[in-house]
Amino acid sequence: MTDDEPITLGASHRGNGGLTHLACGTGRPLGARLFKSRFKGYMVCHCLLFAGDGRLVLVDAGLSREELRAPRKLGWFATALGLQSEPQLAAYEQIGALDFNPSAVTDVVLTHLDLDHAGGLRDFPDARVHVSEAELDAARRRRTMGERMRYRASQWEPARWVVHAVSDSTDVSSPVELLRVGNWTLSYVSLPGHTRGHCGVLATSSDANVLHCGDAYYDRSELADAGSFLFRCFKRGVDTSLAQAESSRRRLRVLQAERADLQLFCSHDPDEFAEAVGHSLGADGADGADGADGADGADCSDGARDAAI
Ligand SMILES: [Zn+2]
């Protein structure tokens, strides 16, 4: 991986099995320059799109069309993340480019409510928005300076909230089931620390199991070790509770070692994103949108198309 843009980011292929990986925003964060041994120079906002049963479900919403047109309007946050102006990467635009109808998005499942995960909600005002009870409470109360900086209610109020009680002990063996779409079952697992109610989203099917770890870590190297004192100081600045966040990362380390059947990835690691895209397209790079798929752009309710996705 180099500092140059590593992969084609705009969605051009639907993933097999009804799961497509989307990068809904990119940046060159300041933290990456400070910790070159830890981070690549480049980050993505890794979201998931599930298609089936004539509807679409998003996991995280990335940044909105408007935010990606003019990221500077996000102020210090855009500077810290080095956000690029790339309106074509908004989930709304990529869903259209895949010949789906954005109005078919019935649900958005959020790992947490940070700016770079919730901004895209603006483009799906009719969708139900799933969030953990602790996260919505933290975002509304904004009890600390950090929480006042990281949450912006203008991105998500009003929303059609579906609030879930997720206890700290909720792990992959006893997740909180949220919904089913096509062959997939989506559930929450608790990964607190980055924010108070931060959750991973577990997606299981007969063919694959993936865990979207949100911002439990930024780079997979964080699952190997906790890093230097300086790096831990940096994490203390971005994690609401460093102790909880380190505990969550320890749990993920164990999972990674014990569950070869489970693909883990976080929101911002570009290597993980590239691997996930490759994995979802299959070894030959074939996608689920060609041939008899008959992508007509009208909606995703056609039976033959549903079979293809
Ligand atoms: Zn993030």
Residue 66 counted as domain residue: yes
Query: Per residue in 145-190, pLDDT tens?
Result: 999 999 999 999 999 999 999 998 889 999 999 999 999 999 999 9
Helices (H), 87-213: 91-97, 115-118, 133-141, 145-150
* Residue 294 pLDDT exceeds 60: no
pLDDT grade for 297, boundaries at 50, 70 and 90: very low
Ligand 1: centre distance to CA 199 (Å):
12
Residue 8 counted as domain residue: no
Q: Compute the radius of gyration of the chain from its Cα atoms.
A: 18
Residue 26 counted as domain residue: yes
Query: Per residue in 52-76, pLDDT tens?
Result: 999 999 999 999 999 999 999 999 8
| Alpha carbon of residue 55 to chain centroid | 19
- Residue range of the domain that includes 233: 16-281
Q: What are the beta bridge partners of residue 225?
A: none
Residue 172 counted as domain residue: yes
Residue 296 counted as domain residue: no
Ligand 1: centre distance to CA 215 (Å):
5
The torsion of the CA quartet 52, 55, 59, 64, rounded to 10 degrees, works out to: 140
Ligand 1: centre distance to CA 242 (Å):
16
Q: DSSP of 3-30, one letter per residue? A: SS--S--S--SPPGGGEEEEEEEEE--H
Instruction: Give the pLDDT mean for 196-216.
Output: 97
Residue 288 counted as domain residue: no
Ligand 1: centre distance to CA 173 (Å):
25
Residue 228 counted as domain residue: yes
Instruction: Give the angle 114-115-119 at the CA atoms, nearest 5°.
Output: 120
Count of domains in the chain? 1
CATH number for the domain including 21?
3.60.15.10
Phi (first) and psi of residue 248, to 5 degrees = -60, -40
Ligand 1: centre distance to CA 229 (Å):
22
Ligand 1: centre distance to CA 118 (Å):
9
* Residue 193 pLDDT exceeds 80: yes
Ligand 1: centre distance to CA 43 (Å):
10
Burial of 71 (0-12, 13-18, 19+ CB in 10 A): buried
pTM value is 0.89
Ligand 1: centre distance to CA 306 (Å):
31
Q: Lowest-confidence range among 99-108, 244-253, 261-270, 271-280?
A: 271-280
Residue 162 counted as domain residue: yes
As given in the structure block, the two tokens for residue 294 are 């008959």
